A = this chain, B = another copy of it.
């Protein structure tokens, strides 16, 4: 039996027991994991070093190596995040609906775990801890399939989790790592419908597209963010500069950073040059259409593919539009349904934009950088959903649950 099949089977079996674990049992296990992470810091740093050495010798970029890095501070942050998770309300068992029928039937719709969650992700070892602890809090078993570049770190983290769970009522099979990181094990997970209830990909667009295309297991699509800011005719110039600079430069490598600025042609005439100069001063590379380049000749010419590119870097594409309609049309054509903003003092235009733009989060006069489970106050985040079914936008604990109808009778039959 393959590793994936064996671990899938074990996860499904254990998932039926996790359903019955109390909030206290789950929180105790989480606290033990936090303690064990703190206790085994040296071991984790040593194992992580193997991945970093290997990565460096294989020419991985500094930014990827930084994402892979585990140090004392980051391990303490993990333990801290787990203690915040412990304080969050356990969603399992919550009654979502109560229906009393005339015939005496009582129907209660309650939150239940999904069952088994499959997580396919790249590089970041913090996803290992996030996915394991959020799954545990919601009574789910989880199967982790990280990338080969972080395999030593992931193995070490999961062994730490196992040593923590050993001291608790939660079986170790609740958290399992697929150690074979060949392409075949990912493919096996895509069609493991018998044992997996959902697959969550976390990583680049290519990974996510592959999972969506090839998986028969239901997928929670996360992440890709080709986000726009539209500066309307009446937008306040000072506010627009602050928000655009924040959206593009505060942390360009994340999915809620902006990639394209759409500027109303009248605003462009009066305030465009100053904004573009400020971006340029902040080392942002600008690709613009003809009108942008006539105002700001340092902009390079934008090609068709720029409108659909998620740069994740200090690069931005800028397009002038003749009105709100054109802006909405452009965003619905090129956007990835993540986060979109309009800057305007015209309330009617703001309302039109927010209603008609198809995205998880639609902003009026604020930076798209707020699309995040913690910023939204969810206290946890397993990813940002860019699909429309089940969960949309930042996914907190409820996204890892399903529901079930409990029906209590005393002999009712259907006439």
Contact = CB atoms under 8 A, between A and B. Distances in A.
Main DSSP-derived SS at the A contact region = mixed
Contacts of A243: 411, 413
B105 A413 contact: no
A171 to B, nearest CB: 15
A250 B371 CA distance: 51
Contacts of A250: 413-414
A130 to B, nearest CB: 20
Contact of A212 (B19, B216, B242): B216
A56 B267 CA distance: 68
A364 B218 contact: no
Given A212-B216, A410-B365, A402 B388 contact: yes
Given A390-B390, A393-B405, A402-B388, A413 B369 contact: yes
B105 A20 contact: no
A38 to B, nearest CB: 29
A153 B408 CA distance: 41
A19 to B, nearest CB: 6
A198 interface: yes
Contacts of A354: 406
Contact of A409 (B16, B115, B363, B393): B363
A95 interface: no
Contacts of A408: 364-366
B406 A402 contact: no
Contacts of A109: 393
Interface string A35-65: 0000000000000000000000000000000
A99 interface: yes
B365 A99 contact: no
Nearest to A220: B389
Given A19-B355, A411-B239, A406 B114 contact: no
Contact of A114 (B197, B213, B388): B388
Contact of A246 (B371, B390, B392, B413): B413
Given A114-B389, A369-B414, A392-B402, 20 more contacts: A20-B356, A115-B388, A197-B389, A213-B216, A218-B388, A243-B413, A246-B413, A246-B414, A250-B413, A360-B404, A362-B406, A363-B407, A365-B409, A366-B409, A366-B411, A388-B402, A389-B389, A389-B390, A393-B403, A393-B404
Closest 5 CB pairs of A and B: A366-B409, A246-B413, A388-B402, A369-B414, A390-B390
24 contacts: A16-B356, A99-B377, A105-B370, A115-B358, A212-B216, A213-B216, A218-B389, A220-B389, A242-B413, A360-B404, A360-B405, A361-B404, A361-B407, A364-B406, A364-B409, A366-B407, A366-B408, A366-B409, A366-B412, A389-B402, A392-B404, A392-B405, A393-B403, A393-B404
Interface of A: 16, 19-20, 99, 101, 105, 107, 109, 114-115, 193, 197-198, 212-213, 216, 218-220, 236, 239, 242-243, 246-247, 250, 332, 354-356, 358-367, 369-371, 375-377, 387-390, 392-393, 402-414
